[in-house]
Structure 1
Amino acid sequence: MAHYARTTSEPTEHDIVVFLIGMRINKPWRPDAWLPAFAAMPRMLAELSADPDSGLLGYRTLIGAGGPLVVQYWRDRESLFSYAVDASGEHRPAWAAFNRRARRVPGAVGIWHETFAVGEFETCYGDMPPAGLALALGTRPVDGRNTDARSRLTRPGAAA
């Protein structure tokens, strides 16, 4: 098994936008109502990941008791908002189709999202490959200048 050094994420000169999006399957016996929404997310993530100019820096997909959750890291708010309304991308058609199904089978699936514009953040990873924000921004070693959380807490434009 590989041994990984203690690392932190690279600093950034701008706010990071963290976008959480999840779904809750309320009627598991109605996959016709929730499976298309579940299947749409990988297509959107593939589309965004293939386009470095999209603004998506990285993401994590999690499955928990409340259902699937995707944590997305975005370069800025405008990139996220632009993707949400882009009629030529995967999101708009998937959103319209979801709304049509939701009207046909009310309450079958719940969806939610939360958006956070983060001006300061701190990360630390020990004995693991890059994950989360470090995977999105890149890593650097924890050394004499950034050994504690206070020294790693970064503000956009701050010296590293």
Structure 2
Amino acid sequence: MRSKPERLTHDYDGELVVFLIGMRINRWSRVRDWWPTFTAMPPMIRELMSDPDSGAVGYRLFGLPRTPSVLLYWTSLDKLYEYASNPDAKHRPAWGAFNRRARTANGSVGIWHETFVVERAETLYYAMPPTGLGAATALKPVTKKHASDRMHEGRTAPA
């Protein structure tokens, strides 16, 4: 007999930073312009996820094929900036190479990123495999105490 799905939430306390980064392929025919940008991210993700001290705790890919993007969860804004500026990490050389190519690419590929320092995060998962923040950290059951705490914050409890 199948068990009834439970309501879950993320299990994480501490500083939380959400970093979104992506690219947009503007001219498919200019593969030489967008392919290096497209292939630069996977090695960075592997580097970050293999180093528990990096501050990156999880990621999710989305937006394929035209706007490949990554959502990354970080334990600290300082760790994110430390990685971005580290000359020995994969990001700095990739960023320099992109800037050099961009001079002649004439807009064939675009890039973007957004950084959010999260003061409070709410998650709810029902009949879902771990995803998002729950996959990046851990999951725990939503309890009556959790719902009560949300009520005391002036918000309604999850349905």
Shorter chain as denominator, the TM-score bin is 0.7 to 0.9
Structure 2 unaligned regions, length at least 5: 154-159
**Distance in 1 between residues matched to 2:105 and 2:47, nearest whole Å:** 28
What secondary structure does 2:28 align onto? Answer: coil
Work out the CA distance in 2 between the residues paired with 1:109 and 1:93. 18
Q: Distance in 2 between matches of 1:132 and 1:29?
A: 33
Is 1:133 the equivalent of 2:141? no
Match of 1:46 in 2: 46
Give 1:65 shift: 7.5
Provide the aligned C-alpha RMSD in A. 2.2
Query: Does the CA-based 8 Å contact 1:77-1:117 persist in structure 2?
Result: yes
Structure with larger Rg: 2
Q: 1:68-83 maps to which residues of 2 (within 5 A)?
A: 68-83=68-83
Q: CA deviation at 1:56?
A: 0.1
How many residues align? The count is: 152
SS of corresponding position for 1:53: coil
Runs of 4 or more, structure 1, over 4 Å off, are 1-4
Q: Which moved more, 1:143-152 or 1:54-63?
A: 143-152
User: Which secondary structure state, in structure 2, belongs to the residue aligned with residue 71 of structure 1?
Assistant: strand
SS in 2 for 1:46: helix
C-alpha distance in 1 between matches for 2:152 and 2:28: 44
CA 1:89 to 1:65, structure 2 compared with 1: closer, same or farther past 3 Å?
Answer: closer
Q: Which residue of 2 aligns with 1:117?
A: 117
Contact 1:123 1:152 survives alignment (8 Å): no
1:25 corresponding residue in structure 2: 25
* Inter-CA distance 10–114: structure 2 relative to 1 (3 Å threshold): same
Report how far residue 134 of structure 1 moved: 0.9
What percent identity do the matched residue pairs reach? Answer: 47
Where do 5+ consecutive residues of structure 1 fail to align? 154-160
